[in-house]
Structure 1
């Protein structure tokens, strides 16, 4: 490919406007041979100019395709199509994660090598032997009864959730929970859903895919700004109250009550995504909002951040007027979540294995967080961490005037996956990086900090 980047206007479909569209078309161009192995791509700025999109749109697409193995970024050589890219159209190859990044600092990834394999295998064995013949048939779409009972007990004990087993619905991870709620809200007459700004775009994309308009509501050091929410016509809002993603602030008690007052006044609903509330390092976690008004709050959680995303186990705690509708939608979708994993998870909860694993990983993640922040304060003292000591990630605020997307791109060329805060923002904000620390050892995190320094 020549250096005349205007050829990309003809190569790619004109009028691409979103990250997913650019990413999909680039992937398709590689897979069908329009972009040959070894082809050097233009810089993110050049391609953005040619396609008429934001530079961050192209940067995010490049980063995703580097992660999938379609592209490779090398310092001094730019971004090129992977030399060994010759894959059939019938599947998407998933490269070995160890080959994707030298240092993977993406948020939300637990220490997968700490998964309690022995305890899980024992729980699977005991649970399988205890299942009756009938329980090996199609599952209850609301979830395995024993797991719903254990979850109701656990959530009440650890998160102060006010619920009974009949109000718990087991889903295939938080993603299915969001998808189910999107369809049910749309069918109930909702046209829009408010989300925090900044926030994870994955949930917003799911809600949008079901015909709901997403309205961003700014977050400050006390959480979502309920006064701004009140100026919209939304009657549903998605919040991460215990540990806002990505900024890491906790929703202030006054804002919690104001948010519930808003829901009552507008016949609205609050979706509380409690995605990593169990991980606290310097203070007890605040109880779930759901306990303050179970009739107005949908509570959502999953095992992905504590155990592993591969389990695809999540749960909803639902107001009585939504429970049957959600369960029926779930039945029509997939006839219910698989019983075998549910039964094993119930056994792990029942025997205390889940609590023991949490105690181990809290110590592990606190040490890793401390190592990351200590090295940052020593090597890059003008990079400021924000948010409470919790979860699996920390946002680091960069000095004013720094282009965080450019920093992300330079790091990607060095094999470091460090997402820019701009990837989670619809509105302008300060420059920052969203750094996950749970999956790397303290020594690896310290080395990663020096990669950050070198990239600058």
Structure 2
């Protein structure tokens, strides 16, 4: 049996205690890769706890990739290729330590789905590469798969040849800005920082617009960049009336709406909000990304532009070969065809649905939620001094998280933007304890 003791007087639940104990046995070398763990029935009997306690602990360790199951054989310490390289429980920060990021863009990828990822890259290794430069639109088979997915998940009916594969949202935005006429770009404030920097990098002016206010006038602007399904970072869904107002303003000014649909699949309170582009394909350029489903490191996205802009983009790409690498496109095709992306999204949605209420329970007594619970982060409004103190306390505990002021330009908002996708449950619980403690000390309750 395992050298483990559980303490019923401690506030931590017994499954959490057991999971932490097993992690410790792995990291201190008591358990090695491939060692078989006791059955849940046997360990429960040895520890004098309900079998459900052991099963919950094993499930948590499996989700964090500390253990793996083998059909008919039991539960084993995970092999080196999936075993975390550091303890899941966070430690105080040191000069050389890498901080655990509580950012708004890192998704949860269930370790149980890693075999599908490896299979995709094996298929890339034996696939026939294109002769010469790849298709300027992107891999044809990938565009077919993306067209099917957009129709099924976003209510956006497009032909494969209307899609341009990009190296992510900011790449698609940069390419769009390169074919637009002269003029500034309206950007939500607070808003996506990478979009602001992309607009500035191509020499265009940024017009700040309050993120929760309707857009009624785009005079002098060639485009408006928005995140209507889940405003980044306040979390608000753009109301129907505001959508119509924005489209009306774009038509009146002959401007283009640049819709960044970065995480619309991760609603767990209602069905995903339909894409703004579905209301007016002639006026909206749609930007999608694989960053929140497959992972940011893949650097792949897709762009559906109004016909005139599509033709300009294609002519430029034929000359510049400004397309993503063929191997990554081929890997995403396999992940879509195999249903891997759908499975990853469903799993992540369940994880976010369970984590979001825990974040709300910890921070709700001390701060105000800025928008509905959705996606892989939530934003909490509080005083500037309290936000800064909470950020500093988190950093001292080994966590790095942004404050809302980082996303503001002229807006006068303060608070915390708490991401809960790219962490383990143990890391999240520890971070929330630190944040709640700091906010409580500074505010004494909401």
TM-score surpassing 0.5?
yes
TM-score class normalised by the smaller sequence: 0.7 to 0.9
Shift of 1:332: 4.3
- Taking a change above 3 Å as real, the CA distance of residues 158 and 231 of structure 1, as seen in their structure-2 partners, is closer
1:359 to partner: Cα distance:
0.9
State the distance in 2 between where 1:342 and 1:217 align.
35
2:70 is aligned to none
Contact 1:180–1:330 at 8 Å: present in 2 too? no
Residues 413 and 332 (structure 1), Cα distance of their counterparts in 2 relative to 1, 3 Å cut: farther
Secondary structure of residue in 1 paired with 2:281: coil
Do residues 212 (structure 1) and 204 (structure 2) align?
yes
Map 1:321-336 → 2, pairs under 5 A: 321-336=308-323
Quote the residue 1:109 is aligned against.
106
Contact 1:139 1:335 in 2 (8 A): no
Structure 1 distance, partners of 2:196, 2:221, is 14
Which of 130, 133, 138 is 1:143 aligned to? 138
Structure 1: distance between partners of 2:338 and 2:393: 47
- Which residue does the alignment assign to 2:363? 376
User: Paired residue for 1:202?
Assistant: 194
- State the SS of the aligned residue for 1:176: helix
Task: Name the CA distance, whole Å, in 2 between partners of 1:345 and 1:362.
Answer: 20
Q: 1:53-92 to 2 correspondence within 5 Å? A: none
What does 1:241-252 correspond to in 2, within 5 Å? Answer: 241-252=228-239
* 8 Å CA contact 1:169, 1:315 repeated in 2: yes
2:276 to 289, 298, 301: 289
Deviation at 1:437, TM superposition (A): 0.5
Deviations 1:382-410 (A, max 9, x none): 21223122111100122x46453454244
Provide the residue aligned with 1:225 in structure 2: 214
How has the CA–CA distance of structure 1 residues 414 and 296 changed in structure 2, closer, same or farther, with 3 Å as cutoff?
same
* Equivalent position to 2:172, from 170, 177, 188: 177
Count of aligned pairs: 348
The whole-number CA distance in structure 2 between the counterparts of 1:280 and 1:155 is 16
Name the structure 2 match of 1:390: 374
**Are residues 448 and 338 of structure 1, via their aligned partners in 2, closer, same or farther at CA, if it must alter by over 3 Å?**
same
TM-score (normalizing by structure 2): 0.73
Hey, what's the Cα distance between the residues in 1 that align with 2:150 and 2:237?
19
Question: Partners of 2:171 and 2:183 in 1: how far apart?
Answer: 20
1:194: how far off?
0.2
1:116 counterpart SS class: helix
> How far 1:314 moved relative to its partner?
0.6
Query: Is the contact between residue 162 and residue 294 of structure 1 (CA under 8 Å) also seen in structure 2?
Result: no
Could you say which residue in structure 1 is the equivalent of 2:184? 192
- Give 5+ residue unaligned stretches, structure 1: 1-73, 83-94
Cα deviation, residue 302, structure 1:
0.8
Counterpart Cα distance in 2 of 1:388 and 1:331: 43
Deviation at 1:196, TM superposition (A): 0.5
2:267–2:375: 8 Å Cα contact kept in structure 1? Answer: yes
2:168/2:290 contact within 8 Å kept: yes
Name which of 270, 273, 292 aligns with 2:257.
Answer: 270
1:122 pairs with one of 119, 123, 134: 119
Aligned twin of 1:306: 293
Residue pair 1:199, 1:425 contacting (<8 A) in 2 also = yes
Q: TM-score, normalised by structure 1?
A: 0.71
8 Å CA contact 1:115, 1:308 repeated in 2: no
> Considering only CA atoms, is the larger Rg found in Structure 1 or Structure 2?
2
- The CA distance in 2 between the partners of 1:430 and 1:301, in whole Å, is 28
Structure 1 pair 296–258 and aligned structure 2 pair: CA distance change class (3 A): same
Displacement of 1:373 in angstroms is 1.9
Which residue pairs with 1:443 in the alignment? 426
Deviates more, 1:387-396 or 1:319-328: 319-328
Partner residue, 2:162: 167
Rounded Cα–Cα distance in structure 1 between residues aligned with 2:104 and 2:318: 32
